[in-house]
Structure 1
Amino acid sequence: MDPKDRFVRASYYQMMLPEPKTEQEAIAGILAIARNVSVPFGAPNNLPGSLYNTEYRTAIDLTNRRYFFELTTSPNVIWVNLDQLNFVSGATVLSLDPDNLELSGNVTDKFVRVTKIPF
């Protein structure tokens, strides 16, 4: 399934979602659609316009300022409350390893200070 096909499929399923009553319902619906149109590991990628497997999926709640993230190689969804992080210029640089299978749910307080900026 090429990107255009996946976009059409996602658009179709988005129209089928019921109006969410809670943030949980909204995020669950969006992530369900993202999972549905993801490219699985092992999909052929030797054709023109190659397909590469989906490595992660994200959803953002703009109202409550939460960022949701899941690696396709992990069974856990993690999220961050953006209002609880400092984005001011000069603020401490923080990092989080999403490959850590111990992480699940709200990981806002799991970020660690970076002593050497990686880029």
Structure 2
Amino acid sequence: MAIIITDECINCDACVSECPNNAIYEPDQEWSYSDETALSGIVTLPSGDEIDADIENEPISDEFYFIVPDKCTECKGFHEEPQCASVCPVDCCIPDDNHVETEEVLLQKKAWLHGE
């Protein structure tokens, strides 16, 4: 499952540099799938949808840091635990019940993001 940042976030930005998938963005920041990943141009999402990885998408939050669920792998294949949660001083990085995924799916997403 992906991680979500709750509204308890104090916008300290401790989590941003810890994310190996560049899935965490500042409040009100546009994002793309290609941001620091191997993705570029037209790609097929794990869900089967086709998108342009270079297109800038609307921010998910305009108040708090946010995690793009399609880019979050819970740090599987990189670390033993989600690094955002391990460095968060207010424990606001929690599992996202709306995006439950198996370890196998998370590892496939990691490979997809990084061209492995």
TM-score normalized with structure 1 length: 0.25
Whose RCO is larger (CA < 8 A, sep 6+)? 2
- More strand per residue: 1 or 2? 1
Which has more helix, going by share of residues? Answer: 1
